[in-house]
Amino acid sequence: MGSPEDRGGRDAELVSSLGAVRARIAQACAEVERDPQGVTLIAVTKTRPASDVATLARLGVLDVGESKDQEARAKIAELAELANPPIGLRWHLVGRLQTNKARSVVSYAHAVHSLDRPKLARALADAADERRDDSLEVFVQISLDADPERGGVAERDLAALVDSIAQRPQLRLRGVMAVPPIGADPEAAFARLAHLSERVRAAHPQADAISAGMSDDVEAAVRNGATHVRVGSALLGRRKPVFS
Ligand SMILES: *Cc1c(COP(=O)(O)O)cnc(C)c1O
Question: CA 3, CA 142: separation in Å to the nearest integer?
Answer: 43
Q: What is the mean pLDDT of residues 91-119?
A: 98
Q: How far is the CA of 69 from the centre of ligand 1 (A)?
A: 15
Q: Which atom of ligand 1 is nearest to the CA of 44?
A: 4
Span 211-243, pLDDT tens digits: 999 999 999 999 999 999 999 999 999 887 665
Q: Which residues contact 91 (CB under 8 A, 6 or more apart)?
A: 64, 65, 66, 72, 76, 108, 109, 110, 111
Residue nearest atom 5 of ligand 1, based on CA coordinates = 232
Q: What is the mean pLDDT of residues 135-146?
A: 95
CA dihedral of residues 223, 189, 143, 171 (deg, nearest 10): 10
Q: Is 187 left (phi over 0), alpha (psi -120 to 50) or beta?
A: alpha
Q: Which atom of ligand 1 is nearest to the CA of 67?
A: 15
Residue 1 in this model has a pLDDT that exceeds 70 = no
Q: Which residues contact 69 (CB under 8 A, 6 or more apart)?
A: 93, 97, 101, 104, 105
Q: How far apart are the first and last CA of the chain?
A: 27
Structure pTM?
Answer: 0.96
Q: What DSSP assignment string belongs to 2-29?
A: --HHHHHHHHHHHHHHHHHHHHHHHHHH
Residue nearest atom 7 of ligand 1, based on CA coordinates = 215
Residue ranges around ligand 1 (CB below 6 Å): 44, 46, 67, 94-95, 179, 214-215, 230-234
pLDDT at residue 244 in the model: 45
Of 40, 44, 113, 141, the one to substitute when testing ligand 1's pocket (max ligand atoms within 8 A of C-beta) is 44
**What element of type H or E holds 186?**
helix 186-203
Q: What DSSP assignment string belongs to 88-153?
A: S-EEEE-S---GGGHHHHHTTEEEEEEE-SHHHHHHHHHHHHHH-SSPEEEEEEB-SS--GGG--B
| Residues 90 and 63 sit within 8 Å (Cβ to Cβ) | yes
Span 76-96, pLDDT tens digits: 999 999 999 999 999 999 999
